[in-house]
Amino acid sequence: MQNKEQQSMGNETSKMSPIERRASISLAAIMATRMLGLFMILPVFALYAEALPDSSPLLIGLAIGIYGLTQALLQIPFGMASDKFGRRTMITIGLLLFALGSVAAASADTLMEIIFGRALQGAGAVAAVIMALTADLTREEHRTKAMAVIGMSIGGAFTLALVIGPLLNSVIGVSGIFWFTAILAVLAIVILWTQVPQPVQSHMHHDAQLDPGLTMSVLKDTQLLRLDAGIFILHTILTSTFIVVPFVLRDSLGIDAGHHSWVYLPVLLLSAGAMVPFIIVAEKKRKMKQIFVSAVTVLCLSLLTMSQWYENAIAFFVLLFLFFTAFNFLEASLPSLVSKTAHAARKGTAMGVYSSSQFLGAFVGGSVGGVLYGEFGISGVFVSSSILIAVWWLLAITMRPPSYLANIVMPVHGLDEAQASELAVKLESVAGVVEVVVIIEENEAYLKVDNKLLDRDTLQDLLPSQ
């Protein structure tokens, strides 16, 4: 009878509560809404901007990527402010800035005015705060699931943006897309205050938030730096590529701008399906490094070949499919590798540095890509991107194979320093536990474990009764 009761309790705790599910879905919707607004102009803006009075390749690139600079600079201050002024307050301020930036861009008559609006959009840097609020509203054992839901929503927003951006452009134009983005920001605020639960308390979560005091230790980790460089390069080449891809489709292949969606839709759907088996093999068969390096190779060769074959429709579509298959695999794999590589108590800080690298990549890709397009044309952008990926290949081939360890966060309450140290030693002795950090102030223990070897029963028995 007792065993049945314990099994029943275990089943209950293995499921997200209704509040956790509501928090995960609503916060994912807010993040996706914001990212959709940022990405929708990506496949159409270059074509629109060429007709503006102050148009130049550099300014077009800046307008596309400038949001990444303000996002990277302000996401840490926003996160720290949320500890003091509240998560929902700072998310609201960020979404209002995003809406104001969208209105400014929608009302603009010059590229410089649009650049200001895009910078203001990025200044609403709420990504880190949303992650912190997610951690506040989910139990330790469900936090990874909630983060995964948000991650999938961002990927879905990117795919949707590339498809509906050209469709909306044909109906309401780029200015209308910016107005629509402002409406999305207001909708996100409504979701925040009507659907997102209010946390009982907010505090630092080292598995989800950046701790400024740990930043230097993360920056000294050469394995993490390889991954940070990877996401920086990945988003650099993505942004720079989309400065020229719209021109390829319209001018080189003769596809009307309003029909670009019908190019992106099958390419993105097919590439998303194609990368799934590689993800499964990489994780299940523990072949991550081999497949990761292969994906970087495919990314490099697809762009290099594009530089010579972009005027051939069939070749370009095939190369675009290969590009997005490799891109999707790398985009999905990199956060997992950061999580596996980072020290147990530095995961949040490592992910914060990684996120900043991603946004900086978008900024550099826009500004440098614009210059390259102006100086060397379409081929120059593709060749330069492939050279940059070749540098990444050298970093990837020399990285250590991932450890295939999972992160576990477990609650521990009422411990003093001596008891915390004693508990850490006991936890480290459990089969499958590789690393343990107990943080008294957070009432949490951070563990890295090998799930294939982990003795879960012994691990649970060692935790103090709550």
Give the Cα separation of 369 and 385 in Å (integer): 9
The average confidence (pLDDT) of the chain is 89
Let me know: does 431 contact 454? Beta carbons within 8 Å. yes
pLDDT band at 283 (very low <50, low <70, confident <90, very high): confident
| Percent of the chain whose predicted confidence (pLDDT) is above 70 | 95
Q: Looking at residue 5, what is its pLDDT?
A: 35
**Residue-wise pLDDT tens digits, 42-85:** 999 999 999 999 999 999 999 999 999 999 999 889 988 988 89
pLDDT above 60 for 2: no
Average pLDDT over residues 284-290: 89
Q: Looking at residue 1, what is its pLDDT?
A: 37
Q: Looking at residue 14, what is its pLDDT?
A: 61
Average pLDDT over residues 390-400: 95
Q: Looking at residue 12, what is its pLDDT?
A: 40
Buried b or exposed e, range 76-89, using 16+ CB within 10 angstroms: bebbbbbeeebbbe
pTM of the model: 0.89
CATH topology of domain 19-209: Growth Hormone; Chain: A; (1.20.1250)
Is domain 406-462 classified as CATH 3.40.50.300?
Answer: no
Q: Looking at residue 6, what is its pLDDT?
A: 39
Average pLDDT over residues 333-345: 85
pLDDT above 50 for 147: yes
| Residues with Cβ within 8 Å of residue 180, at least 6 apart in sequence | 37, 40, 168, 172
pLDDT band at 265 (very low <50, low <70, confident <90, very high): very high
Average pLDDT over residues 259-269: 94
**Residue-wise pLDDT tens digits, 425-443:** 888 888 888 888 888 877 7
Domain ranges of the chain: 19-209, 210-404, 406-462
Question: Which of 212-226, 288-302, 340-354 tops mean pLDDT?
Answer: 288-302
pLDDT above 80 for 350: yes
Identical fold for domains 19-209 and 210-404, yes or no, is yes
| HEC letters along the chain | CHHHHHHHHHHHHCCCCHHHHHHHHHHHHHHHHHHHHHHCCCCCHHHHHCCCCCCCHHHHHHHHHHHHHHHHHHHHHHHHHHHHHCHHHHHHHHHHHHHHHHHHHHCCCCHHHHHHHHHHHHHCCCHHHHHHHHHHHCCHHHHHHHHHHHHHHHHHHHHHHHHHHHHHHHHHHHHHHHHHHHHHHHHHHHHHHHCCCCCCCCCCCCCCCCCHHHHHHHHCCHHHHHHHHHHHHHHHHHHHHHHHHHHHHHHHCCCCHHHCHHHHHHHHHHHHHHHHHHHHHHHHCCCHHHHHHHHHHHHHHHHHHHHHHCCCHHHHHHHHHHHHHHHHHHHHHHHHHHHHHCCHHHHHHHHHHHHHHHHHHHHHHHHHHHHHHHHHHHHHHHHHHHHHHHHHHHHHHCCCCCCCCEEEEEECCCCCHHHHHHHHHHHHCCCCEEEEEEEHHHCEEEEEECCCCCCHHHHHHHCCCC
Average pLDDT over residues 238-258: 94
Average pLDDT over residues 389-405: 91
**Residue-wise pLDDT tens digits, 25-36:** 999 999 999 999
Check residues 437 and 240 and name the one with the higher pLDDT: 240
pLDDT above 70 for 458: yes
pLDDT band at 9 (very low <50, low <70, confident <90, very high): very low
**Residue-wise pLDDT tens digits, 322-338:** 999 999 999 989 998 99
pLDDT band at 4 (very low <50, low <70, confident <90, very high): very low
Which CATH code, of 1.20.1250.20, 3.30.413.10, 1.10.1060.10, 2.30.38.10, is assigned to 210-404? 1.20.1250.20
